[in-house]
């Protein structure tokens, strides 16, 4: 099911048959260098299953990021409920296939998800959990209007918590159209 559309991307729910394409993203050691480890095939399949479960439970999750021009699945982006310091926060998360880095696709998708989080989910605050040394991801969060809110130990690793409140988000930055 298609959820969002931007000028270059479609964000849709993951399907079981997305494992090969998603594996080219989250199994890549360079792309996942700020995670504990890249995902093996079973991990990729579990990632998809976990997000499909989130769609049922929360009404959202990480969605497949599909390049309109080719129809290729090139990453994921979406909203994930996270427990940060004992508080439920809504995270904008994203991964883009490495050969497409630097083209603004992550930012485009993240902005659409930000707008969805405020417009459809009615969140008061959105966050992104990012390792301090992950400068490309930090730039995406900053282009999404987020600023460092605090530092936390999350999954036993230090992370910066980037955040934006609903009242800080600009209504003029709508990047996505709800389908």
Q: How confident is the model at residue 137 (pLDDT cuts 50, 70, 90)?
A: very high
- What does the angle CA 161 – CA 162 – CA 167 come to, to the nearest 5 degrees? 130
Concatenated DSSP letters of 48-82: HHHHHHHHHHHS--EEEEEETTT--EEEEEEEEEE
The answer to whether the beta carbons of residues 47 and 78 sit under 8 Å apart is no
Radius of gyration of the chain (CA): 15
Stated pTM of the model: 0.91
Q: Is the pLDDT of residue 48 over 70?
A: yes
Give per-residue burial for 48-65: e unless 16+ CB within 10 Å, then b: beebeebbeeeebbbbbb
Q: How confident is the model at residue 78 (pLDDT cuts 50, 70, 90)?
A: very high
* Mean pLDDT of all residues in 80-99: 96
């Amino acid at each position: 099911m298609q959820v969002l559309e931007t000028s270059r991307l479609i964000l849709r729910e993951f399907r079981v048959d997305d494992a090969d394409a998603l594996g080219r993203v989250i199994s890549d050691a360079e792309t996942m260098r700020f995670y504990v480890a890249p995902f093996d095939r079973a991990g990729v399949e579990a990632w998809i299953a976990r997000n499909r479960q989130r769609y049922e439970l929360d009404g959202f999750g990480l969605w497949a990021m599909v390049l309109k021009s080719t129809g290729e699945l090139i990453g994921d982006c979406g909203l994930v409920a996270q427990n940060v310091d004992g508080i439920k926060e809504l995270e904008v998360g994203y991964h883009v296939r490495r050969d497409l880095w630097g083209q603004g696709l992550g930012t485009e998708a993240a902005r659409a998800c930000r707008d969805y989080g405020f417009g459809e989910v009615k969140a008061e605050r959105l966050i992104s959990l990012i390792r301090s040394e992950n400068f490309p991801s930090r730039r995406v969060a900053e282009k999404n209007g987020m600023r460092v809110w605090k530092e936390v130990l999350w999954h036993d690793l230090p992370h910066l918590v980037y955040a934006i409140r609903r009242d800080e988000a600009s209504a003029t930055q709508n990047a996505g159209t709800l389908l």
